[in-house]
Structure 1
Amino acid sequence: MSIAHTIRERRSIRQFREQQVPVDLILRLLNDAVWAPNHGLREPWRFIVVERNEAKVKMADLMLASLSHLKRVKLLPAKLKQLMKHKYSQIPANLIVVMREDKDEHKQEEDYAAICCLIQNFQLLAWEQQLGMIWSTMEFIRSPLFCQGVGVQANERIVGVLHMGYFDKAPKPKSRTSAEKKLTLL
């Protein structure tokens, strides 16, 4: 499979089979993904894998508690909140991608870009293994309650949570605007 084919075929996956994702597969994919470009080889990333059942339930509780101040969550009936908790705790594996904060704004921006490259590498590598995921940047990743609950340090921030698992069906592709329509020549 060519890189271009993998890039065009990869989809965000939200529905997963119950099949577990082996931690050694996640590590193998990460060991390739860390070859993402990063200025000065600072390697500003750290990873937290949430795959044990009790950890997934704890993470789902932290997610909901961290979002509870939002009007759209606050007004949900308790039964719907329980369904959300159940859905999130059934995700086969979660990879929390953590970034070391830097006081230098320019370095911080470079490090964020590097981690985004790493995440895209990871998604493409996973897709080749028939492993799908969704990259979540929902508000909970900035919540001190969530961050402390999953072990993020004071000098770190979460760039995203990759909810992942094996899947049966990929969504149909949506069209993209051609580069020619977005190109300015100087």
Structure 2
Amino acid sequence: MELVDLIKSRRSIGVVDEKEVSDEIIKELLETAVWAPNHKKTEPWKFRVIKGDGRIKLGKEMARIMKEKTADLTEEEAQKKIEKAEKGPLRAPVIIIMAVSPSGIVPEIEEIVATGCAMQNLLLSATEKGLATIVRTGDIAHYPELKPFLKLDENDKVIGLIYIGYPKKEFDIKGIRTPVEDKTIWFD
């Protein structure tokens, strides 16, 4: 597939089979991610691969944090959020959590953008391999209480939880974009 076609065909798909994604494929995805451009070669990205029982452990930790964060809600509202947090990691057989670790060498925004480029490399590589992906965050991803579980440093920031699996069915989701002319101003 031509690169432009791959870019245009990638879609967020969250309906996946429980079929395991091999460690070899996961390593290939990570390898493509690290080839993202980054100013001064700071390589600001960090990856946390969650699979198997690790998904259950992550869900329990997210539920524990959510229980603390929902103390001011009604019991029913709190319970819904806690259950959602606990079940979230079970949506796919693999989750790759991507974080940015600012180096202080270049402006933080450049490190965030570089990590976004790494994420795009990974997503495109997954699409090429016939995998379905969807990136999620939610408030829980940004709570500092999650960092110790993920072995992230205090200044690290989670930029996305990438859920990865084989699609349950064929999807033909049409992509629509605003014409580039509507977003561009040329200066000659």
- In the superposition, the TM-score normalised over structure 1's length comes to 0.86
| Unmatched segments (≥5 aa) in structure 1 | none
Task: List structure 1 runs of 4+ shifted beyond 4 angstroms.
Answer: 70-75
Over the aligned positions, Cα root-mean-square deviation in angstroms equals 2.5
Cα distance per residue 1:62-116 (max 9 Å; x no partner): 3344445368997537478546633532420000112212346x52111111100
* Cα pair 1:13 1:171 within 8 Å, conserved: no
Cα distance per residue 1:110-149 (max 9 Å; x no partner): 1111100010010001001011111113211211221212
Structure 1 residue 38: Cα displacement: 0.5
Aligned length: 184
The 1:72–1:32 alpha-carbon spacing in structure 2 relative to 1, beyond 3 Å, is farther
The 1:107–1:59 alpha-carbon spacing in structure 2 relative to 1, beyond 3 Å, is same
- In the superposition, the TM-score normalised over structure 2's length comes to 0.85
Structure 2 SS opposite 1:155 = coil
Which residue in the other structure is 1:14 paired with? 14
Q: Name which of structure 1's ranges 20-29 and 61-70 shifts more when overlaid on structure 2.
A: 61-70
Paired amino acid for 1:121: N
Which residue in the other structure is 1:155 paired with? 155
| Unmatched segments (≥5 aa) in structure 2 | none
Structure 1 residue 2: Cα displacement: 0.5
Which residue in the other structure is 2:130 paired with? 130
The 1:101–1:80 alpha-carbon spacing in structure 2 relative to 1, beyond 3 Å, is closer
Separation in 1, partners of 2:63, 2:179: 39
Within a 5 Å distance, the mapping from 1:165-184 to structure 2 comes to 165-167=165-167, 168-170=169-171, 172-184=173-185
The 1:121–1:17 alpha-carbon spacing in structure 2 relative to 1, beyond 3 Å, is same
Structure 2 SS opposite 1:94 = strand
Q: Report % sequence identity.
A: 26
Separation in 2, partners of 1:149, 1:132: 26
